[in-house]
């Protein structure tokens, strides 16, 4: 494992003091993950634990966590844990995402449920579980590396719909000034997001879960999320116009 115990400030000869530290993966260029990169370190600070977070494309993030190269992932949907037995789901969700179709404004496509996607050509970000799940069994589905790419595919008329999280899609539209693409008006799903920890660190799970649950009950987590969303939105034009 890449992260075990990090000695800080004092040498080994003093016989003191190691700070607990972990290294997690996130998925790059997704707005909900950017929120998690802000919030999760603050939650771990309550345990006097330092964490570092490395962003990767979705499949790479999954591989580094499941293989034990890193200590887990900062946030994934519920089904991720069912698919990856080596990963332990922290029971209390700390954020959410929406699966939103984005379409050309001029076409007035009505997408109200999953079945409405079937006759359409769909662009989605590679390795993202919620869009993998909602398009399972569909044949005209195309994978790309970022939300910006899938929005361009819709804007240029190469596909009918782009599927991504609502917040991330809106940030791309704003960042690239894509005025021709809009959300369909109705999210197809809303899914809780959970922190996942590799089974090698299973003792960490109840500790961070207690912090998340307490922060949720006190209302502090809601404030932390709101502040993080504000920060991501303010930075969005820079992040999502690269």
Question: What is residue 3's predicted lDDT score, i.e. its pLDDT?
Answer: 42
The answer to whether residues 82 and 30 belong to one domain is: yes
Residue where a domain stops, chosen among 189, 206, 229? 189
**CATH code, domain with 54:** 3.40.190.10
The answer to whether residues 182 and 200 belong to one domain is: no
The answer to whether residues 88 and 199 belong to one domain is: yes
Averaged pLDDT for residues 92-120: 95
Question: What is residue 15's predicted lDDT score, i.e. its pLDDT?
Answer: 40
The answer to whether residues 202 and 185 belong to one domain is: no
Question: What is residue 4's predicted lDDT score, i.e. its pLDDT?
Answer: 43
The residue to which tokens 């899609």 are assigned: 169
230 has pLDDT over 60 = yes
238 has pLDDT over 70 = no
Question: What is residue 156's predicted lDDT score, i.e. its pLDDT?
Answer: 96
236 has pLDDT over 90 = no
Take residue 226 and report the two structure tokens written for it.
Answer: 């709101």
Parent domain of 42: 5-95+194-239
List residues bridging with 57 in a β-sheet: none
Question: What is residue 164's predicted lDDT score, i.e. its pLDDT?
Answer: 96
Q: What DSSP state is assigned to residue 16?
A: -
Domains held by the chain: number: 2
What are the residues whose beta carbons fall under 8 Å from the beta carbon of 152, sequence distance 6 or more? Answer: 176, 178
Question: What is residue 235's predicted lDDT score, i.e. its pLDDT?
Answer: 83
Averaged pLDDT for residues 86-100: 97
Please tell me whether residue 101 adopts helix, strand or coil conformation. Answer: strand
The answer to whether residues 91 and 200 belong to one domain is: yes
Is residue 71 within 8 A of residue 176, CB to CB? The reply is no
The answer to whether residues 204 and 168 belong to one domain is: no
175 has pLDDT over 70 = yes
The answer to whether residues 102 and 88 belong to one domain is: no
User: pLDDT tens for residues 114-130?
Assistant: 999 999 999 999 999 99
The answer to whether residues 112 and 155 belong to one domain is: yes
Question: How many C-beta atoms surround the C-beta of residue 209 within 10 A?
Answer: 18
Averaged pLDDT for residues 63-81: 98
- The rounded mean pLDDT for the chain is 90
What are the residues whose beta carbons fall under 8 Å from the beta carbon of 97, sequence distance 6 or more? Answer: 32, 77, 130, 165, 166, 167, 190, 191, 193
Averaged pLDDT for residues 7-34: 72
Question: What is residue 1's predicted lDDT score, i.e. its pLDDT?
Answer: 47
198 has pLDDT over 60 = yes
The answer to whether residues 34 and 107 belong to one domain is: no
The answer to whether residues 172 and 157 belong to one domain is: yes
How large a percentage of the chain has pLDDT more than 70?
A: 90
Strands 161-165 and 122-125: parallel
Question: What is residue 91's predicted lDDT score, i.e. its pLDDT?
Answer: 98
11 has pLDDT over 60 = no
193 has pLDDT over 80 = yes
Alpha carbon distance 114, 142 (integer Å): 16
The answer to whether residues 183 and 116 belong to one domain is: yes
């Amino acid at each position: 494992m890449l992260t075990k115990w990090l000695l800080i400030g004092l040498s080994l000869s003093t016989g003191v003091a190691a700070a607990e530290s972990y290294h997690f993966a996130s998925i790059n260029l997704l707005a909900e993950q950017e929120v998690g990169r802000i919030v999760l370190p603050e939650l771990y600070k309550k345990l006097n634990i330092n964490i570092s977070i490395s962003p990767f494309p979705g499949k790479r993030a999954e591989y580094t966590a499941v293989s034990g190269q890193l200590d887990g992932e900062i946030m994934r949907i519920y089904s991720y844990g069912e698919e990856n037995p080596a990963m332990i789901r922290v029971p209390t969700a700390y954020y959410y995402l929406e699966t939103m179709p984005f379409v050309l404004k001029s076409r007035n496509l009505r997408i109200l449920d999953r079945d409405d996607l079937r006759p359409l050509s769909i662009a989605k970000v590679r390795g993202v579980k919620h869009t993998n799940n909602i398009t399972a069994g569909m044949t005209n589905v195309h994978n790309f590396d970022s939300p910006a790419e899938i929005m361009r595919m819709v804007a240029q008329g190469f596909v009918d719909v782009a599927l991504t999280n609502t917040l991330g899609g809106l940030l791309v539209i704003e960042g690239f000034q894509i005025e021709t693409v809009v959300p369909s008006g109705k999210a197809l799903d809303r899914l809780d997001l959970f922190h996942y920890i590799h089974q090698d660190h299973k003792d960490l799970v109840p500790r961070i879960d207690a912090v998340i649950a307490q922060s949720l009950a006190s209302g502090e987590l809601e404030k932390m999320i709101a502040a993080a969303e504000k920060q991501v939105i303010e930075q969005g034009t820079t992040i999502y116009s690269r």
